[in-house]
Structure 1
Amino acid sequence: MTHSATDPAPQPLGLFERLLSLWVALAMLAGLALGTLAPGLVTAIASAEVASINLVVAVLIWAMVFPMMVSVDLGAVANVARQPRGLMVTLAVNWLVKPFTMALLAVLFFDYVFAPWIAPEDAAQYTAGLILLGAAPCTAMVFVWSQLTRGDATYTLVQVSVNDLVMVVLFAPIVALLLGVTDIVVPWETLVLATLLYVVLPLGAGLLTRRALRSPERIARFAAQAKPLSIIGLIATVAILFGLQGQVILDRPMVIALIAVPILIQSYGIFALAYGAAHLLRVPHRIAAPCALIGTSNFFELAVAVAISLFGLSSGAALATVVGVLVEVPVMLSLVAFANRTRRHFPETPA
C-alpha cells in the first residue's frame, strides 16, 4: 500500500519520545508512591468502573489513541486488500500461535520450573491467568505503539478491527479449550464497551476532525500538534496502573517476578516470530512493526475482567493478568525502540 496524499512524511522521533522509557520509569515510581501515600485517591480512581473498565484509564487511553485516528484515511482502507500479508501475519500469530505458546510456557514454569516455590493450587491459578492474557490480543494500546514506530494508521486500524471481530468468535472457545472448562462467561459488556471507547469513538472523532481541517497540510499539522497528548496519556496511564497495584507489588515482589518470567519470554518470542515473518515476506516497515506489536501486547481489560468473573477478585488468576499489565509497557517500549532501529532492513514499499 502506498501512502495517500494526506499521509505526512515520517519524521524522526523527538527528544521527548526518545526519552520515553525514562518518563515511563518515573511514572512507575510516581504510581508506587501514589499508591502508598494517597491510598484514598487510588481507591477513588479504582472505583470509577463500568463493565470492569476503569473510566479514568479509559479517558487517558482515548487521549492516546485519538492523535493517530486523525491520520486514518478511510478512502485508503480498500488498499489494504492489495497488501494482505501484514494482516495475515497478525491473524496467524494471534490466533494460531500466541494462546498456545502462552499456555505451554505457563505450564512449563508453574508446574515444573517454579514448582519448588509455588503451591500447586496457586500454580493452577497463575496458569489460568496467563492463558486469559494469551488469548486476548491488544486493541487500544496498539495505536500508541504504531504511532511511535511511524506505522500506517489506516492499516493499523484495519488490523485491530479484524482482530476484534475474530476475538468475538474465538476468545471463549480457545480459553475453554486451554482451561479445560466449557462454561467460560465472556463479559460481553467489557468487550463491546472497550471496542466503542478505544476504537469506534476515537475513530469517529478523528474522521470529524479530518473533515473540519480539510486540507492535507492542516491535517498533518494538527496530528503533529496532538501527538504529545498521546505520550502524556501513556505516562499518566502507567502512573495510575502502578498506583492501583502498588500495594500488591510491594507485598508480593517475588510472586510478581515469577509470573513475569513466562510473560517476558512470550512477549519477546511472539514479537520475534511476527516481525521475522513480516521481514521474510517483505512487508513494509510501517505495516510490519504494528503487525508484530499487536500480537505482542494484550487486551488486559478483557483478561482481567474474565479472570475476576471466573476465579474472583483476589485470585491468583486475576493477579497474573494484572502482572501482564505491569510488564507490558516497559516491554513494548523496548520493542518499539528495536523496531525503530531496524527500520532500514524493511522495504519502504511493497515488494
Structure 2
Amino acid sequence: MTADTPSTASTASTASTASTASTASTAPVAARLSFLDRYLAVWILAAMAAGLGLGRLVPGLGDVLAQVTVTGVSLPIALGLLVMMYPVLAKVRYDRLDTVTRDRRLLIPSLALNWIVGPAVMFALAWIFLPDLPEYRTGLIIVGLARCIAMVIVWNDLACGDREAAAVLVALNSAFQVVAFSALGWFYLSVLPGWLGLEQAGLDVDAWEIARSVLIFLGIPLVAGYLTRRLGEKARGRSWYESRLIPRIGPFALYGLLFTIVVLFALQGDAITSKPVDVVRIALPLLVYFAVVWAGGMALGKAVGLDYPRTTTLAFTAAGNNFELAIAVAIATFGATSGQALAGVVGPLIEVPVLIGLVYVAMATRRFFPRPAAAADAPTAGESPARV
C-alpha cells in the first residue's frame, strides 16, 4: 500500500509475522489499512473539489498550468505522475519478473483484454451513447486505444495486486502502444466505420510522439525505481531496504496522485462547470466501460485460475487508460479547444473516482479466492499486513 509502517517488520520474528498475517487476513479490510489508505476516498474527493475551486476562483490558472507541456501534457501533471509512480516501482522485486513472463494464463488474457476487447468495447459504447456528437465520440475512441501505463500501477498497488505482474503488463502495453496505436486508430476511426456504414474520421499520429510519451511516463520512474532497489539492496541489504526505505518513500505515491488530481481539475475546472451536460454525456459511456472491462478482467482471471493478486492486476491493467497519451494525441490532432480534447480530459476525471471505488470492490472479493499458504501469506518486511 502507499503508507507502510516500519515498526511491524523491524520488531517481528518470522513466526510472529506469519501469525500477524493470519490474524490480519480475517480482520476487516478497513482495519488493516493505514490511515492514508483508509480515508483515500476522502482525500480524492477533497483533491477534486480543491482543483475545481482553484480553476474557478483563480482567473487564468488553467492557462498558466498548461503553458509548459511535456508531450502535450502539462508539466505539473507530468511531475505529479512521475512522483506518483516512482515509489510503487521502487517496491517491485525485479528478480521475480521471470515468474510473470512465464505465466501464459496472465499474459494472453491481458493482451486480449487490452488490445482486442478494450478498444472494441469503447468503440461500441461511443457510438451507442454519442451517435450525434462526433467530436466527443472520436475523443472517447482515442481514450479506448490508449492503454494504461501510469495510474494503473497505483490502483493495482492500492488493491493489493501483484506488483511484479503490473510492471510486466505495463511494459507490454507500452511496447504494443508504440507499435499498434496508430494502426488501431486508423482501423477504429476510418476502416471499421466504413464497413459498418457509419461516419468516418481520421487520426494522424507520429509513432515517435507515442514512444516519447512512453519513455517519459513509464521509462523515467521505471529506471529510477529499479536503480533505487538495486543500489539500496546492494548498499544496505534487502531487510533495510524494505523495512526502512520503502515505508519512507511509499506515501509519496499518494501525494503525487492527489497533486495530479488537483492540477487536472484546476486545468479543466471552467470547462467542466460550464458544460455540465456535455460532461455527463461523455461520462456515461466511460462509467459503463470501466465497470464492464474491469468486471470482465476479474471474471476472466478467476475463470483461468489466477490468484487474487494477479486477477486484480489483470482487471486494473485492462480497465485503466493512458490519459496522458490520449490528451496529447487529441490536442495535437484536433486542437486544445476541440471536443476530442474535452473527451480526453473527462476520461481521467471519471476514471479516478471510479477506479478508486473499484479498489474497494476488488478487496471485498478477496474471500472468493483461495487463501495462500501461511508462509506465502506473511507480510514482507516493511509492509503492512493489508498489502499481502
SS in 2 for 1:342: helix
Partner of 1:3: none
Q: What is the CA–CA distance in structure 1 between the aligned matches of 2:130 and 2:229, rounded to whole Å?
A: 50
Choose which of 198, 216, 225 in structure 2 pairs with 1:206. Answer: 225
Q: Which amino acid aligns with 1:136?
A: A
Question: Greater shift after overlay, 164-173 or 308-317?
Answer: 308-317
- Whether the 8 Å contact between 1:85 and 1:283 is mirrored in structure 2 is yes
Q: How does 1:145-164 map to 2 (within 5 A)?
A: 145-164=155-174
Choose which of 334, 342, 367 in structure 2 pairs with 1:319. Answer: 342
2:177 is the alignment partner of 1:167: yes
Partner of 1:47: 67
SS in 2 for 1:341: helix
Indicate the percent of aligned positions where both proteins have the same amino acid.
35
Partner of 2:50: 30
2:270 is the alignment partner of 1:247: yes
Partner of 1:338: 361
5+ residue gaps, structure 1: 1-7, 112-119
Q: What is the CA–CA distance in structure 1 between the aligned matches of 2:201 and 2:278, rounded to whole Å?
A: 29
Q: What is the CA–CA distance in structure 1 between the aligned matches of 2:144 and 2:261, rounded to whole Å?
A: 21
Q: What is the CA–CA distance in structure 2 between the aligned matches of 1:110 and 1:68, rounded to whole Å?
A: 37
Q: State the Cα distance separating 1:174 from its structure 2 match.
A: 1.5
Partner of 2:151: 141
Q: What is the CA–CA distance in structure 2 between the aligned matches of 1:87 and 1:98, rounded to whole Å?
A: 15
Choose which of 172, 194, 216 in structure 2 pairs with 1:197. Answer: 216
- Whether the 8 Å contact between 1:283 and 1:347 is mirrored in structure 2 is no
- CA distance 1:256–1:233, change in 2 (3 Å): same
When normalised by structure 1's length, the TM-score is 0.89
Q: State the Cα distance separating 1:228 from its structure 2 match.
A: 1.0
Q: State the Cα distance separating 1:164 from its structure 2 match.
A: 1.1
Q: 1:234-280: CA deviations, max 9, x gaps?
A: 11111110000000011101110111001100110000111100011
Q: How does 1:170-181 map to 2 (within 5 A)?
A: 170-180=180-190
Q: What is the CA–CA distance in structure 2 between the aligned matches of 1:246 and 1:99, rounded to whole Å?
A: 28
Q: What is the CA–CA distance in structure 1 between the aligned matches of 2:290 and 2:211, rounded to whole Å?
A: 26
Q: State the Cα distance separating 1:71 from its structure 2 match.
A: 1.8
Q: 1:278-316: CA deviations, max 9, x gaps?
A: 011121222111211111111111111222233222221
SS in 1 for 2:203: coil
Q: Which amino acid aligns with 2:277?
A: M
- CA distance 1:155–1:348, change in 2 (3 Å): farther
Q: Which amino acid aligns with 1:179?
A: L
Q: State the Cα distance separating 1:32 from its structure 2 match.
A: 0.9
Partner of 1:293: 316
Question: Greater shift after overlay, 8-17 or 335-344?
Answer: 8-17
Q: What is the CA–CA distance in structure 1 between the aligned matches of 2:90 and 2:35, rounded to whole Å?
A: 23
Q: Which amino acid aligns with 1:192?
A: A
Q: What is the CA–CA distance in structure 2 between the aligned matches of 1:211 and 1:178, rounded to whole Å?
A: 42
Q: 1:10-54: CA deviations, max 9, x gaps?
A: 883212112111111111111011111223343222112022022
Partner of 1:4: none
Q: Which amino acid aligns with 1:193?
A: R
Q: What is the CA–CA distance in structure 2 between the aligned matches of 1:197 and 1:305, rounded to whole Å?
A: 13
Q: 1:171-196: CA deviations, max 9, x gaps?
A: 11211111116963224454223322
Superposition CA RMSD, Å:
2.0
Task: Count the aligned residue pairs.
Answer: 333
Choose which of 65, 78, 85 in structure 2 pairs with 1:65. Answer: 85
Q: What is the CA–CA distance in structure 1 between the aligned matches of 2:206 and 2:47, rounded to whole Å?
A: 30
Q: State the Cα distance separating 1:151 from its structure 2 match.
A: 2.1
Larger Rg: 2
5+ residue gaps, structure 2: 1-16, 25-31, 191-199, 374-388
- CA distance 1:294–1:39, change in 2 (3 Å): farther
Partner of 1:234: 257
- CA distance 1:53–1:189, change in 2 (3 Å): farther
2:237 is the alignment partner of 1:218: no
- Whether the 8 Å contact between 1:185 and 1:309 is mirrored in structure 2 is no
Runs of 4+ in 1 over 3 A off after TM superposition: 8-12, 187-190, 347-350
Choose which of 86, 90, 97 in structure 1 pairs with 2:106. Answer: 86
SS in 2 for 1:22: helix
Q: Which amino acid aligns with 2:259?
A: A
When normalised by structure 2's length, the TM-score is 0.81
- CA distance 1:310–1:197, change in 2 (3 Å): closer
- Whether the 8 Å contact between 2:189 and 2:203 is mirrored in structure 1 is no
Q: What is the CA–CA distance in structure 2 between the aligned matches of 1:186 and 1:349, rounded to whole Å?
A: 46
Partner of 1:116: none
Partner of 2:326: 303
Q: What is the CA–CA distance in structure 1 between the aligned matches of 2:276 and 2:361, rounded to whole Å?
A: 28
- Whether the 8 Å contact between 2:84 and 2:257 is mirrored in structure 1 is yes
